Amino acid sequence: MKEKVIIFLIGSLAGLATSGQGQLTTGLNYTRQNLSWSIAGNLNGTAPNIFSELIWQEVTGLGAMMSYQQPITRRIAAFMEYRHHVLVQGSVTDSDYEGDDRTGRVFYAKEDAGKGYALASQGGLLVQAIKNKSITLALGGGYGFMSQRFFLLNEKMGLRSSYTNQWYGPMLSGGLQLLPGRELSFTLKTNYHQVRYHATGNWNLIESFQHPVSFRHKAKGFGLENQLVMSYKTSEVLTIGLRPSYSYWTTGMGIDTVYKKDQSTPRTRLNDVTSEVWGIEVGLVWKLTH
């Protein structure tokens, strides 16, 4: 289902961009991402309350984006966008504890995390609630999807474990644009996502686990994306922009299910998952006409 949504959005972007209408945005971006999750010793969240914890830190990504906005009426527009990053640098720590609140650490490792990907796609409708010469307020909603694939890598040990997640669900969108001059504009964009979270891990060195799916995580949560768009209009059809951004995604308590080779599937409490993404994007906005 989620893969079909991505294919539909990419195909729609390509089709609309060649239709000769609307506004096409392309860009290159740089991101830094953190991701952390922990599990308890049992489903009650005890024995101990934090049994194992994974933290990916400052994972650098390089990528590109494409978005398209299509007017439907004078105040209503449809939008779609897609972003993809290749992760090239970062680190991850893996810690296990036998006491509550991260006490009695019995295992610790810090490994390379310079591989993987992150992608995001979304689409929906925007309504211009306010529109005049100096300010525009657009409100709307739709559906969003984000996926990340992180690694734990150690060539000498043969470690090549992976953790792949998906955050998906409905979203609300808002954009406030200020026009201090004819060429210059500033826009603050915010998206709120109400999400379901699903992840799979492949711990390749643990022989008692199944492969390629060693465990699954399921939970519910939310995501908040903020982006500041600073744009300069160079002509009637072309605008250049700089777009810093920050997003925060988190879940509540969920379920961690392990898949063992003896066909048993023990479960414990997933305490939470949290992701933070900082980004900077340079892009071009093309106003398409017949």
Segment 274-287, tens digit of pLDDT? 999 999 999 999 98
pLDDT of residue 269: 98
Question: Would you say 254 and 27 are in contact if contact means Cβ atoms under 8 Å apart?
Answer: no
Nearest CA to 154 among 95, 242, 92?
A: 92
> Given this model, what pLDDT does residue 17 score?
45
Q: Quick one: which of 137, 242, 234, 131 has its CA closest to 183? A: 234
Quick one: how far is CA 252 from the chain centroid?
A: 17
Query: What whole-number distance in Å separates Cα of residue 2 and Cα of residue 10?
Result: 13
164 confidence band (pLDDT: 50, 70, 90)? very high
Residue 71 lies in a domain: yes
Query: What is the number of structural domains in the chain?
Result: 1
Residue 288 located in a structural domain: no
Cβ neighbour number for residue 121 with a 10 Å cutoff: 24
Q: 55: domain range?
A: 2-19+28-283
Q: Which two tokens stand for residue 69?
A: 């906005």
| pLDDT for 168 | 98
Percent of the chain with pLDDT over 90: 87
> What tokens were used for 1?
């289902």
| Identity at 246, one-letter amino acid code | Y
SS3 assignment, position 38: strand
DSSP 243-257: EEEEEEEEE-SEEEE
Residue 96 has pLDDT above 90, yes or no: yes
Handedness of CA 70, 125, 247, 108 (dihedral sign): negative
DSSP 183: S
| pLDDT above 50 (res 127) | yes
pLDDT of residue 290: 56
Residue 94 lies in a domain: yes
Q: CA dist 267 to 46, 196, 211, Å? A: 13, 19, 17
Is-contact 90 59, C-beta < 8 A? yes
**Would the pTM of this model clear 0.85, i.e. be above it?**
yes
pLDDT in tens, 192-231: 999 999 999 999 999 999 999 999 999 999 999 999 999 9
Q: Which residues pair with 85 in a beta bridge?
A: 63, 118
Helix boundaries (H) for the chain: 2-17
Residue 236 has pLDDT above 90, yes or no: no
Residue with tokens 């006491």: 99
State residue 40 phi and psi, 5-degree precision. -95, 180
Residue 68 lies in a domain: yes
Mean of pLDDT values over 113-127: 97
Within a domain: residue 90?
yes
Burial class (CB in 10 A: 0-12, 13-18, 19+), 118: buried
Q: CB within 8 A of 278, min separation 6: which ones? A: 31, 32, 33, 245, 246
Q: Is the pLDDT of residue 28 over 50?
A: yes
**CATH code for position 244:** 2.40.128.90
**Mean pLDDT throughout 41-67?**
97
With contact defined as beta carbons under 8 Å apart, do 94 and 152 qualify? yes
Tokens of 91: 């680190």
The answer to whether residue 76 sits within a structural domain is: yes
